[in-house]
């Protein structure tokens, strides 16, 4: 093939809206030497049959950012690339059946406002003004999204393709990628028309992503965590009342989303389009006896209207004119789901120079933003917004197909569900168990999943209501709250023990390890026998990650990090180490017990030969209950305490002995409350690339005067001179029944001046605490601000830059 490209900077596999948007954004960034391969015609996967709805609503800050960006892009795209498109911005009304739903809307409204959007709360009485055909008697209110609308997905894709081509990027249609190989640090993508050598490759293959992902396994990859669901919508014939209204008003009615009943209803021409996410949902191609065909281009599943009956009846009761529209056409197409319903965008776990932009459930509304994020990953290795919510590395090795299938069914069936802070979704559980799992449960633990690991959230007593219904609240108080209080008090007054399986840990050993670390982290390394916190910044000086560093020898370190950070931090650690250094992920072979409280020494003294007088931030090998262990004198709970690390087989005896010696078991809810009182940051809440090291208040972990250069040093020097715009603070809040959730807006008068990154009740200080960032000039102790908590402004007072509990760390040093 004379004209077929044999080399390229980037090859994108898949020409749906997402791959095409990626190509468009790469070209816009100046990376025009890129090729997109599409096995059939563009849009042949899920894109061609999508309904094209484009909401901005999300309760995830990152996803809202992405969707907001898409809508802005789409508004100007037709003109920018000279490709006319059908894009109707009709606005949407999201209905609430309950007070809790209205609170969810309030939170999204406040986040949206911060991102520059005008989401608006609606009283029941106002709904008919905007949507005359609706029954409202049983509603609590609604949310108005003025930017919502619908776009023709095929035209959108073609417009992006035209824009990309015009800038010089290439699209090869009817040209499937058939495999990949690697040679001299380059990728070779194989196609029937020839091979393409490239630096970077992207899996944007939609519901085929798992199949494409298998090619990367020999190069360190894993099976893409996903399942494919069947999703339907149907279109009605013309409805005379709707036609008359549209004629009279010169526009369509807004899109309706009845999220509690779980469907959307949109005007399509002069008929309606009903699209439910039904509980009795159906997956396809989930098991070996139902394999995905090699090619499903432009195909649909057979109609399955029976599944939708309840939703059709419900929608007819809500909007009675729907019943008068005869069924014109049903669409039943494949829609891919990752286990949490969010897409995979970012570095392909374990594989060099490979990326994912696939498994999109809302790819039309997210496609624009996804293209931007993908292009940033490829061209800069970092993204403007923290995108952990969609980072492929948020899943690790526990996502077998059974897990993916169960979660896809659960998420699809609860697509619009509220995510309450004390609710744990039941599907796909028990993937990774601690060596003392049975014992922990026998003590009454109510479990939560953390990177697949089951940990105790709190410990119930006989008679506690453990139903899922009991957790359907935004309130702090619930059956758990008095137990969490008791657990915190046990840690404050006596000694608590928390089993913490799945702490991610890497052993690093070999000549040059210390030098490599010094050149990577913002601060200094601990001396041998001691531990400290290390921070890793990105080139812009933003907080990439935090790890505990336990120094075992001159060139030997144990790095410990959050459970969910495992594959993210694996990349950080392995990327920086020279060949002389051996890096080993030892996460699964060991478990950790946190033994903490003023009586921790008494509890441990009869069980161990360790020197319990060694000071805070030291570590030592010893035996506990006759078992070999490593003791680290540190406590995330902020009391005297030790982390006891041991091989799994040795942990049950230690746990039993610690309990017998008088320790009280406590759970993750208590730990969260306790760490907030100390101002200790949580990963990807308080610590994220949305903030620089200085904004995050981590100045004492930045050594600008150390001789080594490190990523972010120049940016941080610059920030030091210019001053930071925001500053991390601890606030005490006059909260009502709820503490501040993540990304609540902080106000001074009529201006938003910051946001919260975590909020919880502190049982030792007896107050509601919010951690967050505010404008630097307001980060002054005593400043009175307000936090919008589910729509109510609550007074919040900035606290001194020190822990609320035990400000001088005397209890830790005791």
What residues line the site for ligand FAD (CB under 6 A)?
13-19, 37-40, 44-47, 49-53, 176-177, 204-208, 212, 231, 233, 297, 331, 333-335, 358, 360-365
Q: Give the DSSP H or E segment for 126.
A: helix 124-130
Q: Measured from the CB atom, is 276 or 501 closer to ligand FAD?
A: 276
What string of DSSP letters covers 390-420?
A: G-GGG--TT--HHHHHHHHHHHHHTTT----
Taking a C-beta distance cutoff of 8 angstroms, is the pair 24, 165 a contact?
no
CB of 749 to ligand FAD, least distance (A): 37
- For 485, other C-beta atoms within 10 Å of its C-beta total 16
CB of 613 to ligand FAD, least distance (A): 59
CB of 215 to ligand FAD, least distance (A): 9
Tokens at residue 149, please? 């609308």
| E strands present in 204-323 | 227-236, 255-258, 263-268, 271-276, 283-284
Q: Measured from the CB atom, is 343 or 638 closer to ligand FAD?
A: 343
In Å, how far are 460, 607, 610 from 656, measured between CA atoms?
19, 11, 18
CB of 554 to ligand FAD, least distance (A): 49
CB of 298 to ligand FAD, least distance (A): 9
CB of 366 to ligand FAD, least distance (A): 6
Taking a C-beta distance cutoff of 8 angstroms, is the pair 528, 514 a contact?
no
CB of 184 to ligand FAD, least distance (A): 24
Q: Measured from the CB atom, is 203 or 473 closer to ligand FAD?
A: 203
Q: Give the DSSP H or E segment for 240.
A: helix 240-249
The total number of residues written for the chain in this structure? 814
User: What whole-number distance in Å separates Cα of residue 134 and Cα of residue 252?
Assistant: 14
Secondary structure (3-state) at 768: strand
CB of 153 to ligand FAD, least distance (A): 6
CB of 58 to ligand FAD, least distance (A): 12
Q: Measured from the CB atom, is 337 or 701 closer to ligand FAD?
A: 337
Q: Measured from the CB atom, is 330 or 792 closer to ligand FAD?
A: 330
Q: Give the DSSP H or E segment for 554.
A: none
Q: Measured from the CB atom, is 74 or 480 closer to ligand FAD?
A: 74
User: What whole-number distance in Å separates Cα of residue 369 and Cα of residue 63?
Assistant: 9
User: What whole-number distance in Å separates Cα of residue 328 and Cα of residue 348?
Assistant: 42
In Å, how far are 2, 148, 177, 191, 270 from 9, measured between CA atoms?
19, 36, 16, 16, 47
Give the sign of the dihedral formed by CA 705, CA 709, CA 712, CA 715: positive
Q: Measured from the CB atom, is 5 or 652 closer to ligand FAD?
A: 5
Q: Measured from the CB atom, is 73 or 572 closer to ligand FAD?
A: 73
Taking Cα atoms as reference points, which of 652, 428, 616, 408 lies closest to residue 531? 616
CB of 5 to ligand FAD, least distance (A): 14
User: What whole-number distance in Å separates Cα of residue 197 and Cα of residue 189?
Assistant: 6
Sequence-ordered list of residues with C-beta below 8 angstroms from that of 751, at least 6 positions apart, any chain: none
Taking a C-beta distance cutoff of 8 angstroms, is the pair 325, 237 a contact?
yes
CB of 247 to ligand FAD, least distance (A): 26
User: What whole-number distance in Å separates Cα of residue 650 and Cα of residue 627?
Assistant: 6
CB of 139 to ligand FAD, least distance (A): 23
CB of 51 to ligand FAD, least distance (A): 3
Q: Measured from the CB atom, is 8 or 110 closer to ligand FAD?
A: 8
CB of 90 to ligand FAD, least distance (A): 13
DSSP H stretches of helix in 337-384: 363-380
For helices 481-493 and 668-677, the axis angle rounded to 10 degrees is: 60
Tokens 């822990």 locate to 803
CB of 507 to ligand FAD, least distance (A): 38
Taking a C-beta distance cutoff of 8 angstroms, is the pair 315, 233 a contact?
no
Q: Exposed, middle or buried by CB within 10 Å (0-12, 13-18, 19+), for 659?
A: middle
Q: Measured from the CB atom, is 15 or 759 closer to ligand FAD?
A: 15
Q: Measured from the CB atom, is 17 or 239 closer to ligand FAD?
A: 17
Q: Measured from the CB atom, is 205 or 740 closer to ligand FAD?
A: 205
Taking a C-beta distance cutoff of 8 angstroms, is the pair 777, 721 a contact?
no
Q: Measured from the CB atom, is 14 or 652 closer to ligand FAD?
A: 14
Taking a C-beta distance cutoff of 8 angstroms, is the pair 522, 514 a contact?
no
Q: Measured from the CB atom, is 15 or 597 closer to ligand FAD?
A: 15
Tokens at residue 529, please? 């026998």
User: What whole-number distance in Å separates Cα of residue 530 and Cα of residue 526?
Assistant: 6
User: What whole-number distance in Å separates Cα of residue 439 and Cα of residue 597?
Assistant: 21
In Å, how far are 531, 704, 722 from 698, measured between CA atoms?
17, 13, 17
Give the sign of the dihedral formed by CA 707, CA 712, CA 715, CA 719: negative
Secondary structure (3-state) at 807: coil
Rounded to 5°, the CA angle 83-66-208 comes to: 75
CB of 14 to ligand FAD, least distance (A): 3
Taking a C-beta distance cutoff of 8 angstroms, is the pair 489, 805 a contact?
no
User: What whole-number distance in Å separates Cα of residue 208 and Cα of residue 293?
Assistant: 10
CB of 33 to ligand FAD, least distance (A): 19
């Amino acid at each position: 093939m004379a004209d077929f490209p044999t080399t390229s900077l980037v090859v994108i596999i898949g020409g749906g809206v997402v791959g095409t948007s990626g190509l468009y954004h790469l070209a816009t960034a100046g990376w025009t030497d890129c090729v997109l391969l599409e096995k059939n015609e563009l849009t042949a996967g899920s894109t061609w049959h999508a309904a094209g709805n484009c909401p901005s609503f999300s309760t995830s800050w990152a996803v809202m950012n992405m969707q907001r960006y898409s809508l802005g892009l789409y508004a100007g795209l037709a003109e920018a690339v000279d490709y006319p498109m059908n894009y109707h911005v009709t606005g949407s009304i999201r209905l609430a059946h309950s007070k809790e739903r209205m609170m969810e809307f309030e939170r999204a409204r406040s986040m949206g406002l911060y991102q520059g959007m005008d989401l608006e709360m609606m009283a029941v009485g106002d709904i008919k003004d905007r949507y005359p055909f609706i029954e409202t008697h049983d509603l609590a209110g609604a949310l108005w999204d003025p930017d919502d609308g619908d776009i023709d997905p095929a035209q959108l894709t073609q417009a992006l393709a035209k824009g990309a081509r015009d800038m010089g990027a290439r699209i090869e249609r009817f040209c499937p990628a058939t495999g990949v190989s690697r040679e001299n640090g380059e990728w070779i993508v194989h196609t029937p028309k020839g091979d393409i050598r490239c630096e970077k490759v992207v899996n944007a293959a939609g519901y085929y992503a798992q199949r494409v992902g298998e090619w990367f396994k020999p190069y360190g990859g894993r099976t893409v965590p996903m399942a494919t669901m069947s999703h339907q919508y149907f279109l009605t014939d013309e409805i005379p009342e709707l036609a008359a209204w549209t004629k009279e008003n010169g526009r369509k009615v807004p899109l309706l989303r009845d999220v509690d009943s779980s469907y959307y209803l949109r005007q399509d021409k002069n008929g309606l389009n009903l699209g439910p996410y039904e509980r009795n949902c159906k997956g396809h191609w989930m098991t070996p006896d139902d394999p995905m065909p090699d090619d499903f281009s432009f195909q649909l599943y057979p109609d399955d209207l029976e599944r939708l009956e309840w939703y059709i009846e419900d929608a007819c009761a809500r909007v009675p004119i729907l019943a008068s529209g005869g069924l014109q056409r049903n669409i039943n197409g494949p829609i891919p789901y990752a286990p949490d319903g969010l897409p995979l965008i970012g570095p392909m776990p374990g594989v060099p120079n490979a990326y994912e932009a696939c498994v999109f459930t809302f790819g039309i509304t997210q496609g624009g933003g996804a293209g931007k994020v993908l292009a940033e990953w490829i061209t800069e290795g970092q993204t403007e917004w923290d995108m952990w919510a969609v980072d492929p590395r948020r899943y690790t090795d526990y996502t077998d197909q059974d897990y993916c299938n169960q979660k896809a069914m659960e998420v699809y069936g609860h697509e619009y569900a509220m995510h309450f802070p004390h609710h744990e979704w039941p599907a796909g559980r028990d993937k990774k168990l601690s060596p003392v799992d049975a014992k922990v449960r026998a003590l009454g633990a109510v479990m939560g999943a953390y990177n697949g690991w089951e940990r105790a959230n709190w410990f119930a007593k006989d008679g506690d209501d453990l139903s899922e219904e009991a957790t359907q609240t935004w309130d702090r108080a619930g059956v758990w709250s008095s137990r969490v209080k008791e657990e915190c008090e046990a840690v404050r007054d006596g000694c608590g023990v928390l089993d913490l399986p799945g702490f991610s840990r890497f052993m690093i050993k070999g000549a040059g390890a210390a030098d490599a670390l010094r050149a990577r982290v913002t601060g200094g390394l601990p001396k041998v026998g001691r531990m400290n916190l290390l921070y890793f910044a990105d080139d812009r000086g933003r907080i990439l990650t935090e790890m505990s560093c336990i120094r075992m020898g001159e060139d030997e370190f144990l790095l410990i990090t959050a459970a969910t950070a495992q594959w993210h931090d694996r990349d950080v650690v392995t990327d920086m180490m020279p060949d002389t250094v051996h890096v080993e992920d030892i996460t699964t072979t060991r478990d950790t017990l946190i033994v903490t409280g003023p009586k921790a020494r008494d509890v441990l003294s009869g069980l161990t030969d360790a020197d319990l007088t060694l000071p805070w931030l030291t570590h030592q090998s010893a035996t506990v209950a006759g078992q070999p262990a490593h003791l680290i004198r540190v406590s995330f709970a902020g009391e005297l305490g030790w982390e006891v690390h041991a091989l799994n087989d040795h942990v049950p005896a230690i746990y039993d002995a610690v309990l017998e010696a008088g320790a009280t078991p406590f759970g993750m809810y208590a730990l969260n409350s306790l760490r907030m009182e100390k101002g200790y940051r949580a990963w990807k809440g308080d610590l994220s690339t949305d903030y620089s090291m200085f904004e995050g208040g981590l100045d004492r972990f930045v050594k600008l005067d150390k001789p080594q250069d490190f990523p972010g040093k120049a940016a941080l020097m610059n920030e030091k001179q210019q001053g930071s715009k925001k500053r991390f603070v601890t606030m005490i809040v006059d909260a009502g029944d709820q503490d501040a959730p993540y990304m609540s807006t902080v106000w001074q008068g009529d201006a938003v001046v910051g946001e919260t990154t975590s909020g919880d009740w502190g049982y030792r200080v007896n107050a509601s605490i919010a951690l967050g960032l505010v404008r630097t000039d307001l980060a002054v102790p005593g400043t009175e601000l307000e936090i919008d908590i589910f729509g109510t402004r609550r007074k919040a007072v900035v606290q001194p830059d020190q822990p609320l509990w035990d400000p001088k760390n005397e209890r830790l040093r005791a």
